[in-house]
């Protein structure tokens, strides 16, 4: 593990995104809440938050961080720019006050959301494709003085 003990705590934020591509009929079932396993978006949101909080358990050299916030957004109008397939866009924003960044937490959360959506829709769609997860942004700012 990298020694970050000499780094001052800063307000750090990261945004990551990914997608799950699917058939139009599958997206319709998801929108209407008619999947047999239940509310896939609610489950995927909780999975993403849980994964962000447990990132250090999944990524061996990642520092465990006290997360301040995890926000998960789904875009049910997502289109793959390459082939136009429909699907669910996933974006996660994670914040902390720490000596190291939260990009791994944001990326792990996106992956967990995509995997959970996959699990909950695979019975009705054999053509699911998890899209690439990517870091959109990471920032750090000094803490405000009292």
Please list the active-site residues: 119
Report how far Cα 19 is from the mean position of its chain's Cα atoms.
9
Per-residue CA distances from 11 to 7, 17, 70, 92, 112 (Å): 12, 21, 14, 17, 24
**23 DSSP 8-state letter:** -
DSSP element (H, E) containing 127: none
CA pseudo-torsion sign 135, 132, 77, 29: negative
């Amino acid at each position: 593990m990298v020694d970050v003990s000499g780094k001052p705590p800063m307000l750090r934020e990261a945004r990551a995104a990914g997608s799950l591509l699917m058939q139009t009929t599958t997206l319709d079932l998801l929108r209407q809440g008619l999947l047999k396993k239940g509310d896939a978006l609610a489950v995927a949101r909780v999975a993403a938050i849980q994964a962000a909080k447990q990132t250090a358990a999944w990524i061996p050299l990642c520092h465990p961080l006290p997360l301040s916030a995890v926000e998960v957004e789904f875009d049910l109008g997502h289109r793959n720019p390459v082939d136009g397939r429909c699907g669910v866009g996933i974006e996660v924003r994670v914040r902390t006050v720490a000596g190291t960044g939260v990009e791994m937490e944001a990326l792990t959360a996106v992956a967990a959301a995509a995997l959970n959506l996959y699990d909950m829709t695979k019975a009705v769609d054999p053509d699911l494709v998890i899209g690439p997860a990517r870091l959109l942004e990471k920032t750090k700012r000094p803490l405000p003085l009292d």
